């Protein structure tokens, strides 16, 4: 960076034209890394961070705190070296808040000054005029007002069409002008203070609302049933009301629509409900609860809790408060008996909820008459009243096992982790269960083709790798030599023992274990073919049939699989010996685990991945660091990305893989091909239409977070429903399905799930990454430490990797942990408890971790991040 880089006032909201510099988080001369927060600013909605995505040193001239800076103007500079830093502050352009306010109130505004109006969702800037030019503001306003710029004469410099020209055109045809054209007001005696940015935003929104023709309708609803339901589901009444409103909006989509100038109506399928909330300083903000129509109450509460915390501190980001489709204002807690709310541009309606009285809770709708007529509003309110008074009609509740003369109360199809855990949970509660399994022993893919056999190989590979550290510790134990026959005998012995143990346990618990395959013949019946063939009727059913390996349509791949020249993750377990030259298609978790294990067994391995980066399911930096580690600890392992495999030819032991990288075609010779392109559900043999069960994308069974399918008495869990295809995920989903069948309310929460990829070092995660959390509307930050600073890792020569912790800035709740470490499978256990229990940085930082262990890194990270957040809070006042 030869030239100084300008750090500008960013435009963080659609309506933002200027910002107030609230605090400097970095000092002049500080070294700045990519992604560092250098300052905080107040926008028209909230206080937000200014991040810099370059490296350098912070330099003056730097504007002073409490200075108003127009969008796009400099607030500081970034220079390449410390000797270039200028330790100066102040700027001739921006002015302090008080001075700016005084100047605005006492001096006439220059001609052509343009104030950006509130953005109308769905409105686009008008096309550029065929002759001449128009300012960006004029184009935006013309798009909102439906004005043809070709019909206007510009009054700006050199004939440029400016916003005033568009406003004049709208006035001539009697179209109400939106915010920005202020009506002259009478003078008010006294010395006024300048409005804050949020007060100005509210003022402008209220002015814009004056152009909307509105009416009011009121109904009274008794909220007691909804209160009980909210308590039972452990959610706030606010969230429950939002979900009830969504039920009514689904029946009356016009209430969820908006007027768009000129003479258009924007209809929205999603229910993004804004809920008015007061801030700690007495202000008002409207955080938006997104996609209410598609989320369960518990998930909405998880979204709302951190959202309202940030709202109270005015720390919302633009996606968290912009563009609601419907709004709720609840002043009932203040004892208000009735009031009207104000509908603003971009929405067609708002409801005002007053305090509960003898006749119920008054709910008044204010609606835009251009979109919603009186009858529509009245029927909407009546449907909302029904949803509030009878929540049992729409709440997702546990579905008890249907009663009837059935052979079994519950049939479980599949005996992998999901099916087996579900069956055991049910029989422990006195339910009669039959479990159909397509193999002699339970365990499914996890035991026979996945987790357990692959980790037996991994354990052997780890022993080989551990010998690499012996010499550094002064040990001479010789070069390890692999006896494949003995390893396979050892591995198969583990599988057989665990399979026999599982069957003995299931039968001892009185689960009726049937060997065969099941096919639905009706809503409550199946036909079982195989060893224990029979017809069976059931009250409820749980489908847990897993998912087979997916084989992409590559020319020659099916022939290679049939001849044994190629294998999948389902068929790799019958090898007579490990290959000397292995090609792997797919660099996901399965592909990378297998690739490195066979490398450690002595093979030369080439991995071909179609995506731009390997292990794409892992957090980005963890994946990047893994590849760096592999580059220096697995010299015979090569990974190529963005590859298109074009053809496979040859025979067992002599395969030719034809592939393309960019514009280059090339070939690779190998002994064996492993197709590791993931798994994909294939429930076609179940005859699901006979049971009334529908499918989602890519053959997966459509199921809710409770496991319930489109047939209320049939549940589906594990790989067959897609998502995380992990054994422990299936187990949890199986237990959730059992709980709901027993009459309890339980849900699977993917945001608290975890996983481990058994490479060396291992990848592990629990919860959300920084990107996932931000995409979910959370205001989060992260801290990370390299394993190289850990004493225990140095002792064992296992210094590759890092640990990252993600936490909410306001609540300090830990929402995610991501690891790359040799013992991540052990370390992630503590991280699982942090995220699952919703622990805070304070709780983890104050916990006493033993030394020397790698778990003490969690406490260190929590304390470090907590200190950073506290410094930022102090700087922000």
Active-site residue list = 369
Q: Looking at the DSSP assignment, which residues form a beta bridge with residue 701?
A: 695
- The tokens 């987790």 sit on which residue? 451
HEC sequence for 373-428: CHHHHHHHHHHHHHHHHCHHHCCCCCCCCCCCCCCEEEEEECCCHHHHHHHHHHHC
Residues 6 or more apart whose CB falls under 8 angstroms from that of 775 comprise none
Map residue 565 onto helix, strand or coil: coil
Map residue 258 onto helix, strand or coil: strand
Among candidates 790, 794, 774, which has minimal Cα distance to 861? 790
Give residue 121's Cα distance to chain centre.
Answer: 23
539: Cα within 13 Å, side-chain hemisphere: 16
DSSP line for 332-368: GGGT---------TT-SEEEEE---BTTBEEEEEEEE
Give, for 6, the enclosing helix (H) or strand (E). strand 5-8
Measure the N-to-C terminal CA separation of the chain; round to a whole number of Å: 34
> How far is 580 from 671, CA to CA, in rounded Å?
7
Given a contact cutoff of 8 angstroms between Cβ atoms, the answer to whether 130 and 107 are in contact is: no
Among candidates 399, 458, 489, which has minimal Cα distance to 711? 399
* Residue 323 region by backbone torsions, left for phi larger than 0, else alpha for psi between -120 and 50, else beta: left
Query: Sign of the CA dihedral 608, 613, 616, 619?
Result: positive
Given a contact cutoff of 8 angstroms between Cβ atoms, the answer to whether 862 and 808 are in contact is: no
Given a contact cutoff of 8 angstroms between Cβ atoms, the answer to whether 10 and 50 are in contact is: yes
Polymer length in residues for the chain: 877
In order of 365, 518, 708, 738, the CA distances from 444 in angstroms are 55, 15, 22, 19
Map residue 658 onto helix, strand or coil: strand
> Phi and psi at residue 635, in whole multiples of 5°?
-65, -25
User: Does the bond joining 852 to the residue before it have cis omega, within 30 degrees of 0?
Assistant: yes
Given a contact cutoff of 8 angstroms between Cβ atoms, the answer to whether 61 and 82 are in contact is: no
Map residue 116 onto helix, strand or coil: coil
């Amino acid at each position: 960076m030869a030239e100084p880089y300008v750090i500008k006032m960013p435009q963080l909201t659609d309506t933002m034209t200027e910002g107030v510099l609230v605090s400097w988080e970095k000092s002049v001369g500080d070294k700045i890394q990519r992604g560092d927060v250098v300052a905080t600013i107040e926008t028209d909605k909230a206080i937000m961070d200014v991040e810099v995505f370059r490296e350098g040193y912070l330099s003056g001239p730097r504007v002073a705190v409490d200075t108003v800076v127009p969008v796009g103007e400099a607030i500081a500079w970034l220079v390449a070296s410390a000797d270039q830093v200028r330790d100066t502050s102040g700027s001739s352009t921006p002015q302090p808040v008080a001075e700016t306010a005084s100047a605005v109130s006492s001096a006439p505004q220059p001609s052509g000054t343009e104030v950006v109006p509130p953005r109308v969702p769905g409105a686009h800037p008008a096309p550029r005029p065929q002759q001449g030019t128009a300012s960006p503001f004029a184009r935006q306003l013309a798009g909102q007002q439906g004005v043809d710029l070709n019909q206007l004469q510009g009054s700006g410099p050199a004939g440029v069409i400016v916003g005033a020209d568009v406003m004049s055109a709208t006035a001539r045809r009697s179209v109400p002008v939106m915010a920005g054209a202020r009506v002259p007001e009478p003078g008010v005696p006294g010395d006024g203070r300048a409005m804050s940015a949020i007060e100005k935003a509210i003022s402008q929104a209220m002015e814009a609302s004056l152009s909307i023709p509105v009416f009011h309708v009121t109904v009274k609803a008794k909220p007691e049933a909804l209160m009980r339901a909210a308590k039972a589901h452990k959610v706030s009444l606010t969230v429950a009301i939002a979900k009830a409103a969504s039920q009514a909006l689904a029946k009356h989509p016009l209430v969820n629509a908006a007027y768009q100038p000129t003479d258009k109506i924007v209809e929205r399928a999603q229910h993004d409900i804004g809920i008015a909330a007061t801030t700690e300083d007495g202000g008002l903000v409207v955080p938006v609860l997104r996609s209410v129509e598609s989320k369960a109450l518990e998930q909405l509460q998880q979204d709302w809790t951190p959202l309202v915390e940030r709202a109270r501190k005015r720390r919302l980001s633009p996606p968290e408060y912009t563009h609601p489709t419907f709004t709720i204002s609840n002043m009932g807690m203040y004892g208000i008996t009735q009031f009207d709310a104000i509908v603003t541009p971009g929405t067609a309606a708002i409801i005002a909820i007053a305090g509960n009285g003898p006749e119920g809770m008054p709910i008044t709708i204010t609606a835009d008459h251009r979109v919603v007529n009186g009858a529509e509003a009245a029927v909407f309110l009546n449907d909302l009243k029904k949803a509030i008074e009878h929540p049992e009609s729409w709440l997702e509740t546990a579905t008890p096992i249907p009663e009837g003369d059935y052979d079994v109360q519950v049939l479980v199809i599949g005996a992998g982790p999901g099916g087996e855990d579900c069956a055991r949970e049910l029989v422990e509660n006195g339910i009669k269960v039959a479990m159909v399994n397509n193999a002699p022993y339970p365990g499914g893919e996890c035991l026979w083709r996945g987790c357990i056999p692959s980790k037996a190989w991994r354990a052997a590979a780890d022993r080989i790798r551990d010998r690499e550290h012996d010499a550094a510790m002064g040990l001479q134990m010789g070069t390890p030599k692999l006896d494949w026959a003995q390893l396979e005998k050892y591995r198969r012995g583990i599988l057989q023992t665990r399979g026999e143990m599982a069957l003995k346990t299931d039968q001892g618990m009185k689960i009726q274990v049937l060997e065969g395959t099941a096919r639905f013949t009706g809503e409550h019946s199946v036909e079982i073919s195989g060893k224990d063939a029979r017809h069976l009727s059931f009250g409820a059913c749980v489908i847990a049939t897993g998912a087979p390996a997916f084989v992409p349509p590559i020319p020659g791949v099916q022939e290679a699989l049939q001849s044994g020249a190629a294998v999948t993750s389902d068929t790799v377990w019958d090898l007579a010996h490990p290959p000397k030259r292995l090609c792997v298609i797919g660099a996901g978790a399965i592909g990378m685990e297998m690739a490195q294990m066979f490398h450690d067994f002595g093979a030369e391995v080439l991995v071909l991945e179609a995506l731009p980066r390997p292990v794409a399911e892992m957090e980005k930096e963890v994946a990047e660091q893994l590849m760096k580690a592999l580059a220096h600890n697995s010299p015979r392992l090569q990974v190529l990305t963005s590859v298109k495999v074009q053809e496979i030819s040859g025979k067992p032991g002599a395969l030719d893989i034809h592939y393309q990288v960019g514009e280059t075609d090339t070939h690779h010779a190998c002994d064996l091909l492993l197709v590791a392109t993931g798994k994909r559900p294939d429930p076609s043999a179940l005859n699901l239409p006979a049971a009334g069960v529908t499918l989602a994308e890519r053959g997966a069974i459509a199921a809710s977070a409770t496991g319930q399918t489109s047939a209320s008495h049939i549940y589906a869990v594990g790989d067959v429903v897609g998502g995380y295809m992990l054994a422990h995920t299936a187990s949890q989903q199986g237990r959730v399905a059992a709980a709901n069948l027993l009459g309890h309310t339980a849900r699977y929460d993917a945001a608290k799930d975890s996983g481990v990829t058994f490479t060396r070092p291992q990848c592990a995660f629990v919860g959300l990454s920084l990107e996932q959390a931000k995409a979910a509307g959370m205001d989060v930050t992260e801290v990370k430490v390299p394993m190289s600073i850990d004493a225990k890792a140095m002792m064992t020569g296992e210094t590759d990797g890092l640990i990252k912790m993600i936490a909410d800035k306001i609540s300090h709740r830990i929402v995610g942990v991501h690891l790359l470490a040799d013992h991540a499978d052990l370390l992630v256990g503590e991280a699982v408890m942090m995220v699952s229990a919703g622990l805070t940085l304070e709780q983890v930082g104050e916990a006493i971790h033993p030394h020397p262990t790698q778990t003490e890194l969690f406490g260190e990270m929590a304390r470090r991040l907590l200190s950073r957040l506290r410094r930022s809070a102090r700087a922000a006042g």
